[in-house]
């Protein structure tokens, strides 16, 4: 059965690589937790990272939210016309934006912008020995590079998502009023109909977990970059792919655990 | 370094490698590409840990030090990387001052003074605000040497193949 052996070997190699990667990720997480007490190393960089991860990501996040709100309103109208009162368009746009599409689409957009950027930046530092240089200068590279980025991600992702949610709903309102012959009163009646404060908390909890994921995954692949410029490109790509998969899995996890 | 073995995957880079450097001694390690020169030096500052054998610097077993003790040791070691490993997001002055900021007894003024002194040594004093990509000439050699040794460390290591590189200042 010689034709069976190569696929089994390939599965074995992939399994071993994956398990080793999970182990390295665990070590990095423990090092990052320990590095929290070295505030003098990470605190000076926190504001800069918050600006880079949050403020500079606003244009793409709001762009995504704008068109999401427009499309939601149009598709809701298409679905509900003749079936239920049209103010349900507001209910669908408001609920879907806050509970699902706002946090998830924002996180997916930012995994490309923020995650790839972090992986490439730290990966380039790894292949040019700048991280080794930090170590020889008695800087803990995890405290210096990873902690400010991860904390900034946890703080700024919810802020960006809240703004994205608001713009998405506003875009839906604008579309409903201009294209669907609805009044703003009708639209907002629908938004308030199914609104619960817990929806906002749910959105924030999800965005914090997505922010931690995107930044931590970017840092992990950056730290483990090998192979020069090609390796940096690979790290950036893997950071986006893996963080996308984790975001979608977390999305399902939070829905299953917090929406019962 | 006593009887150090180090392998990367299936490639054995160091095998029973033993080296003693006495205080005050200047030593050059010469070897072909891939022979383990950089690997040996990295063991001395704990960037690598040996598979077998032990490494001592100033009577400390480097391979057994915890992280904080390792950082304390590294404050006394100047290390210049083969391709400079300068922080390209920082200015020249910031690169030179990086190590000094980790010294607990140096004020900001003392750091600025020492940075200026080091840049004066290599003729870069008027260029302190410049970012590295705009530094002309051999960008590896000039900022790298003072950048890695402005602390007057007791031990200096360089993996450099820099043309015309000068000896690093020593205590």
Mean pLDDT in residue range A9-16: 92
A133-162 residues touching B, CB cutoff 8 A: 133, 135-140
Tell me the nearest-neighbour CA distance from B109 into chain A, angstroms.
19
| Minimal Cβ distance to A129: which of B67, B74, B85 | B85
- SS3 labels along chain A: CCCCHHHHHHHHHHHHHHHHHHHHHHHHHHHHHHHCCCHHHHHHHHHHHHHHHCHHHHHHHHHHHHHHHHHHHHHHHHHHCCCCCCCHHHHHHHHHHHHHHHHHHHHHHHHHHHHHHHHHHHHHHHHCCHHHHHHHCCCCHHHHHHHHHHHHHHHHHHHHHHHHHHHHHHHHHHHHHHHCCCCHHHHHHHHHHCCCHHHHHHHHHHHHHHHHHHHHHHHHHHHCCCCHHHHHHHHHHHHHHHHHHHHHHHHHHHHHHHCC
Mean pLDDT score across all residues of chain B = 78
Does the pLDDT of residue B146 top 50, yes or no? no
Write down the pLDDT at residue A38.
92
Mean pLDDT of B1-29: 90
Which pLDDT belongs to residue B135? 43
Maximum Cα–Cα distance across chain B: 50
pLDDT of B162 > 80? The answer is no
For the domain spanning B1-74, the CATH number is 3.40.50.300
SS3 B133: helix
Percent of chain A past pLDDT 70, that is, above it, reads 100
The answer to whether the Cβ–Cβ distance between A140 and B71 falls below 8 Å is yes
pLDDT at B164 over 60: no
Q: Where do the structural domains in chain A lie, given as residue ranges?
A: 39-258
Q: Name the residue of chain B whose CA is nearest to A138's CA.
A: B71
Chain B positions in Cβ-Cβ contact with residue A139 (cut-off 8 Å): 98, 102
* Domain extent listing, chain B: 1-74, 84-164
Any residues with CB less than 8 A from the CB of B42 and at least 6 apart, and which? A132, B48
pLDDT of residue B34: 83
pLDDT higher than threshold 60 for residue B139 = no
Q: Name which of B47, B71, B98 is nearest A132 (Cβ-Cβ).
A: B47
| Backbone phi, psi, residue B5, to 5° | -115, 140
- Taking the C-alpha atoms of residue B59 and residue B67, their distance in angstroms, rounded to an integer, is 17
**A17 lies within 8 A of chain B by CB:** no
Q: What percent of chain B has pLDDT over 70?
A: 74
Q: Which residue of A has its CA nearest to B85?
A: A130
A39 pLDDT band (50/70/90 cuts)? very high
pLDDT score for B133: 46
Shortest distance between the Cα of A44 and any Cα of chain B, in A, equals: 13
Q: Measure B74 CA to nearest chain A CA, in Å.
A: 6
Residue B49 or B159, more confident: B49
pLDDT tens-digit readout, A89-108: 999 999 999 999 999 999 99
Quote the pLDDT of residue B99.
86
Residue A79's pLDDT band (boundaries 50, 70, 90)?
confident
Q: So what's the pLDDT on residue A181?
A: 86
Mean pLDDT across A138-144: 93
Q: State percent of chain B over pLDDT 90.
A: 18
Global ipTM? 0.76
pLDDT by residue (tens digit) across A167-202?
999 999 999 999 988 899 999 999 999 899 999 999
To test the contact with chain B by mutation, choose from A45, A129, A136 the residue with the greatest count of B C-beta atoms within 10 A, namely: A136
The Cα-based distances of A67 to A20, A61, A168, A173, A186 in angstroms read 41, 10, 7, 12, 21
Taking the CA of residue A161 and the nearest CA in chain B, the distance in Å comes to 29
**Whole-number average pLDDT of chain A:** 94
- Whole-number pLDDT of residue B130: 52
């Amino acid at each position: 059965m010689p034709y069976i052996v190569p696929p089994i070997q390939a599965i074995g190699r992939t399994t071993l690589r994956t398990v080793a990667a999970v182990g390295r990720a665990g070590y990095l997480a423990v090092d990052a937790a320990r590095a929290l007490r070295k505030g003098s190393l990470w605190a000076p960089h926190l504001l800069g990272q918050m600006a880079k991860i949050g403020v500079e990501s606003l244009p793409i996040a709001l762009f995504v939210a704008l068109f999401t709100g427009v499309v939601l309103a149009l598709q809701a109208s298409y679905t509900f016309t003749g079936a239920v009162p049209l103010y349900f368009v507001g209910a669908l746009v408001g609920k879907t934006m806050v509970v699902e599409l706002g946090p998830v689409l924002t996180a997916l957009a930012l995994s490309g912008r923020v995650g790839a950027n972090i992986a490439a930046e730290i990966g380039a530092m790894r292949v040019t020995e700048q991280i080794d240089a930090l170590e020889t200068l008695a800087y803990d590279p995890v405290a210096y590079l990873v902690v400010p980025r991860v904390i900034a991600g946890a703080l700024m992702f919810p802020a960006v998502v809240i703004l994205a949610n608001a713009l998405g709903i506003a875009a839906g309102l604008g579309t409903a009023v201009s294209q669907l012959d609805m009044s703003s009163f009708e639209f907002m009646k629908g938004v308030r109909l199914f609104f619960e404060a817990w929806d906002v908390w749910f959105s924030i909890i999800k965005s914090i977990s997505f922010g931690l994921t995107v930044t931590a995954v970017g840092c992990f692949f950056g730290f483990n970059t090998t192979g020069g410029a090609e390796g940096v490109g690979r790290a950036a790509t893997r950071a986006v792919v893996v963080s996308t998969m984790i975001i979608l899995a977390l999305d399902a996890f939070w829905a299953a655990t917090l929406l019962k | 370094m006593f009887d150090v073995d180090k392998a990367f995957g299936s490639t054995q880079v160091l095998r029973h490698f033993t080296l003693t450097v006495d205080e005050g001694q200047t030593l050059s390690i010469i070897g072909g590409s891939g022979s383990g020169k950089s690997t040996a030096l990295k063991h001395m500052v704990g960037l690598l840990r040996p598979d077998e054998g032990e490494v001592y610097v100033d009577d400390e077993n480097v391979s057994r030090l915890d992280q904080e003790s390792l950082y304390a040791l590294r404050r006394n070691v100047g290390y210049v990387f083969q391709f400079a490993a300068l922080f390209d997001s920082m200015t020249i002055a910031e690169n030179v001052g990086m190590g000094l900021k980790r010294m607990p007894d140096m004020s900001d003024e003392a750091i600025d003074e020492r940075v200026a002194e080091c840049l004066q040594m290599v003729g870069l004093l008027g260029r302190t605000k410049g970012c590295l990509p705009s530094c002309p000439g051999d960008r590896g050699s000039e900022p790298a040497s003072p950048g890695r040794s402005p602390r007057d460390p007791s031990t200096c290591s360089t993996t450099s193949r820099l043309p015309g590189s000068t000896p690093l200042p020593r205590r």
